[in-house]
Structure 1
Amino acid sequence: MNVLLSAAFVLCWSSGFIGAKLGAGSASAVTILMWRFVPLAVALSLLAAVRTSWRGLALRDAARQAAIGVLSQTGYLLTVYYAIQLGVSSGTTALIDGVQPLVAGALAGPLLHQYVSRRQWLGLCIGLSGVVVVTRADAAAGDGVVWWAYAMPFLGMLSLVAATFLEGRSRTRVAPTVALTTHCLTSAGVFTALAMSTGDARPPAEITFWASIAWLILLSTFGGYGLYWIILRRSGVTKVNTLMFLMAPVTAVWGALMFGEPFGPQTVLGLVAGLAAVAVVHRGEPSSPRDRDRGQQATRVEESRAA
């Protein structure tokens, strides 16, 4: 089950970069994002009205989920979409976003008090090396793209990392449907306000625009975003973010096939490094949470003795 969830998560999350590229030719980033989240907010609000999972949700927990939505959706998506609008390829955007696992892994210990093993650090470093190689090659081939455009996905990555740790520090478990609804309602409000203030609220009539909206709602939001939080709660910060190393090569292959974006030896090297990173981190992974806890406690004892 974990393997199937991981594979589905990688494909669905990668689809977000492709969907953004698909819609970039017909509308601005805020227009795409507004019309991606307004239908979602309406549908999820109607669903929430007939469900009982909202009962007992404290105001503080609702505010925390709204803040998580601002970071994980508004901040993350706006920077990524804007980078693609500026001309950064979908593959390059995903590659820059691939720095996230190292940042999350480095902060997991001091912020969440989660144990990060030596094997996990080795996998993170292997994945990072592949990301660096491919990112440098793709950035060098980005003719006509302003240099600061490559900083946009990096800022988005930091926003998603912040959302991940804000969720991880929460002591209250909020139902996934409640969290997703709160996030989408918050994002719909922010993106609508931005689109209306810039005069970009009116959607274009092109079929490609509405195809990208349907793509992003079904694959990216329900698929990628939903699976992100599910796997995060099942496996922890370090392991779910290690899967992010696969986003870059998968998106690069997808972009090459769908949009004719460059795909060279460096991308292949990044793919190999990403696969190796995931294999190293997940090798010998315990099958149950109790086994994982026992394994982590045993490793702590061994390392304390060695010290």
Structure 2
Amino acid sequence: MNLLLSAAFVLCWSSGFIGAKLGAGSADAVTILMWRFLPLAAVLGLVAVTLTRHAWRGLTARAVLRQAAIGALSQSGYLLTVYYAIQLGVSSGTTALIDGTQPLVAGALAGPLLGQYVSRRQWLGLGLGVAGVALVTVADATAAATGTVEPGAYAVPFLGMFSLVAATFLEGRSPTRTAPSVAMTIHCATSAVVFTVLATATGAAAPPAEASFWTAIAWLVILATFGGYGLYWLVLRRSGVTEVNTLMFLMAPVTAVWGAA
């Protein structure tokens, strides 16, 4: 079961980079993200008041605020930087590679923050993985320096990576466990509010008429959010930070396969 969940997580999470690329040609990042989360939040809200009301019983205001903060970091902050980087011209594969540095950061913090210490063998694997990420990213950035992508654009995905790491540890240090359906609803509602405010403030709320835009939205809602994002927290709770970090190294090659397909 864990193997199937892990495989599904890698497949669905990596699909998000391709979904962002599909929508980047037809709309701004905040437009895509607003229309990704508005219908999603509405559907999850309807489910919450009809089918999963029991899961909300006993939920405190503090727990809701914590989940809102986790959603703001793991969805709003992370996705905005990923989409913005791709909009700036950074390839989806390189964005996935930069996100691959997350395991080293999370591994360094897992001990002091969560008491989940990383073995020497695991540190060796993490170091080799990050070395590969750095090598490819620097090579890609150097090649793009003479093209249309500004070298500074490659710093944007790192901000998203740190945002996701912060959300992971905030969840790990939570004194109470929130039902996955409740957490997903709060996270998506938070993101819907954040991106609607950003899109409205920048005059980018109106969706384009292109069919490719709505294809990208459907792709992102079904595969990336329900599949990738939902499974991220499920695998994290079942297997821990180290297991999730190991799987994150697979995102770049799987994203490359998605891109080729």
Deviation, structure 1 residue 126: 2.0
Kindly indicate whether residue 27 of structure 2 is the aligned counterpart of residue 27 of structure 1: yes
In structure 2, C-alpha distance between the alignment counterparts of 1:118 and 1:215, rounded to whole Å: 39
TM superposition outliers: structure 1 runs of 4+ over 6 Å: none
Q: Secondary structure at the match of 2:250?
A: helix
Please tell me the root mean square deviation across aligned C-alpha atoms, in Å: 1.0
Deviation, structure 1 residue 27: 0.1
> Could you say which structure has the larger radius of gyration?
1
Deviations 1:148-176 (A, max 9, x none): 11111000000000000000000100000
Deviations 1:116-168 (A, max 9, x none): 22222122112112212222222223221111111110000000000000000
What runs of 5+ residues in structure 2 fail to find an aligned partner? Answer: none
**Aligned with 1:134 (options 136, 139, 142):** 136
Deviations 1:83-105 (A, max 9, x none): 00011110011111111010001
Give the alignment's TM-score, normalised by structure 2: 0.96
In structure 2, C-alpha distance between the alignment counterparts of 1:225 and 1:162, rounded to whole Å: 15
Structure 1 counterpart of 2:71: 69
- Within 5 Å, give how 1:16-95 maps onto structure 2: 16-50=16-50, 51=52, 52-95=54-97
**Aligned with 2:101 (options 88, 96, 99):** 99
Kindly indicate whether residue 235 of structure 2 is the aligned counterpart of residue 231 of structure 1: yes
What runs of 5+ residues in structure 1 fail to find an aligned partner? Answer: 259-307
Structure 1 counterpart of 2:248: 244
Structure 2 counterpart of 1:299: none
| 8 Å Cα contact 1:87-1:145 kept in structure 2 | yes
Deviation, structure 1 residue 239: 1.4
In structure 2, C-alpha distance between the alignment counterparts of 1:149 and 1:137, rounded to whole Å: 14
In structure 1, C-alpha distance between the alignment counterparts of 2:126 and 2:244, rounded to whole Å: 12
Give the alignment's TM-score, normalised by structure 1: 0.82
- Within 5 Å, give how 1:118-267 maps onto structure 2: 118-142=120-144, 143-255=147-259, 257-258=260-261
In structure 2, C-alpha distance between the alignment counterparts of 1:125 and 1:67, rounded to whole Å: 30
Aligned length: 257
Q: Secondary structure at the match of 1:53?
A: helix
Q: Secondary structure at the match of 1:221?
A: helix
In structure 1, C-alpha distance between the alignment counterparts of 2:225 and 2:219, rounded to whole Å: 9
In structure 1, C-alpha distance between the alignment counterparts of 2:234 and 2:224, rounded to whole Å: 14
Over the matched positions of the two proteins, sequence identity in percent amounts to 76
